[in-house]
Each structure stands twice: as structure tokens, then as C-alpha cells.
Amino acid sequence: MDRLSQEQVIEKFSGQLEKTTERIPGHFKEKDVHDWRVDYKKLRAFLRMITASVPGHMPHMTKEFKKIYKSAGLIRELQLYLELIKSLPGNSIEKIPVYNSVLEKQLFSAKEDFIKKTDIFSFEKELARWLVMPPDYLTVDIIKKFLQHRVTAMRLIMLSPDNDESLHSFRKHVKDIIYNIRVFAVGWGIPFPVTAWKSEKKLNELADDLGNYNDRCTILNFVQSDYIDQLPADEKDIILDLNTQWLREKKEQQEQLIVKLKDLQLLPVVKVI
């Protein structure tokens, strides 16, 4: 794929990110925050692929942009967690007013941080950096290097996938691959030129399951935070009961995930004929 085609992909994702950044502060809609983070990840995955053959290349994202991504991540996590708490049966949210207030204050603070960081951020400067990265031609060899790095990392994780960090890393590698497959299919209208799996469908299903599991881990991080001990006794009991329930569900989810992960058949990285 020529340089112009690669630049168009970068400009598309950059434009979507900039538009969503401008729209988010109005209402902080969950969909907007989610879409922003997905576009960030899609762009990052694409930059990782096109620079796969460049040793010691410049960082794909500046520290400033990574901080915005982190702020958006905290907003997203708190929105998901609050939505879950409010959806629990028995009007659970009314029984934990202090805890709910703590979470709402954290969410407000995260929104403030996002606005402060985006107000001084220049997409124009960031885009200029990104447009330096594409090679003159995106060859199959470059794509194979990108894919091989991820497949090797995935194989190593599959040897011992029984911890949250490993499963999260596995998901990131899988999503990097899937995002780039979609660039080829949707953006350029051609199939991804290399493969390393027996079933792309299983790859996508596993990515979705890993995403759900990651959400579960995020929820438990909030439940197990230090400030839980500072809550009124009745609220603390409710949260600890939820923690026990969610830990049990997480364990079951993890066991099912590991079975699916081991069932995923990774093959040698080859060019698609």
C-alpha cells in the first residue's frame, strides 16, 4: 500500500478523534467517550503496524496525548461502574449514598482533567508527527513483522495465561491485529495479506470475551480500593458482599476464558495466497 493511502488512514482517525474531542465536553456521553478511546486504539494499532520494520522509531503517541487517553479511560471506567451499580436490583444505589457521592466526585474530577488537557492539546502538531511515520510503501514483509511480534507474544502468554495482566496483554495484541484487518477490509477494500490463525471468527469472539473480562477486573479495582474502609459500616457491608459475588463470577469467567484461549489455534505467520 502506497504512502498516500497510509496517510489517508492516519488523517481519518485523527479527524475523528479531534471531532469527538470537541464534542465530549458538552455532555460526556458514554458513547462519545467509548468511541474516542476506540479511535485512539485503532490509530495506535495502525502506527504500530506501519513502523514495524523501523528500529527505535519515535513514540507513536506523545506523553500529552497518552495522558488524555488515560483521563478518558478513567471517565469510561467510572461511567461503566456507576451504570452497573445503578442497575443492581433493590435500589442498591440509594443504600450507598456516601459511596455514590465518592464515585460521582471522582467522575467529575476526571472530566475536569480531560477538559484541561484537551484545551491545550494540538491535533495539528500531533498529526504532523504521525504523517512522518508511514514508509514509502507498506509491504507484506512489514506487515509480517508486525504480526509475528504479536503472535509470538500471544504464544508466550498462552503458556501461562492464569493472571489478569497476561489476559489483558493478550487482548491488546489481538485487538491490534483485528483493528488492522478492518483497515484493509473496510478502508482499502482488500483482505489482510497475512494470517496466523485457523479461525478469524474465534479470534474476534475471544477479543470480545477478553473485553468483558477486562471490564469485570476494572469493576473489582473500584470495589477493592482503599477508600472502601472509610465508608459507613452498612455501605461497606454492601460493597463487600458485591465484591464476594463479583470475585466468584470473575473466577468462573477467567476459567472459561483460559479454555477458549487454549483452544485458539495459532499458525505460522504466512502470506495469504
pLDDT digits (tens, 9 = 90+) for 61-78: 999 999 999 999 999 999
CA gap 154, 203 in Å, rounded: 12
C-alpha cell at 58: 519515535
pLDDT at 90 over 80: no
Residue 138's pLDDT is 96
CA distance 191 to 254: 32
| 11 Cβ neighbours under 8 A, 6+ residues apart | 127, 131
Q: What number is the average pLDDT over the span 212-235?
A: 86
Q: What topology does CATH give the domain 139-273?
A: CHAD domain (1.40.20)
How high is the pLDDT of residue 143?
A: 96
CA distance 206 to 199: 11
Residue with the three cell numbers 507513536: 60
To 10 degrees, the CA torsion angle through 218, 224, 230, 231?
A: 70
Looking at residue 65, its pLDDT comes to: 96
How far is the CA of 162 from the CAs of 129, 142, 191, 246, in angstroms? Answer: 38, 32, 33, 18
* Pick from 20-24, 92-96, 144-148, 192-196: least confident: 92-96
* CA nearest to 53, candidates 152, 149, 128, 153: 149
Question: Got the DSSP string for 139-188?
Answer: -HHHHHHHHHHHHHHHHHHHHS--SHHHHHHHHHHHHHHHHHHHIIIIIS
- Give residue 227's pLDDT: 78
- Reduced to 3 states, what is the DSSP secondary structure of residue 134? coil
pLDDT band at 213 (very low <50, low <70, confident <90, very high): very high
The yes-or-no verdict on residue 154 having pLDDT over 80 is yes
Residue 245 has pLDDT above 70, yes or no: yes
Integer Cα distance of 24 and 115 in angstroms? 9
* 91: confidence class by pLDDT, cuts 50, 70, 90: low
pTM for this prediction: 0.93
The pLDDT value given to residue 117: 96
* Mean pLDDT to the nearest integer, 221-246: 86
**CA separation for the pair 17, 7 (Å, rounded):** 15
Q: What is the pLDDT of residue 225?
A: 74
C-alpha cell of residue 89: 436490583
pLDDT at 9: 97
Strands 266-271 and 194-197: antiparallel
- 114 and 75 in contact (C-beta within 8 Å)? yes
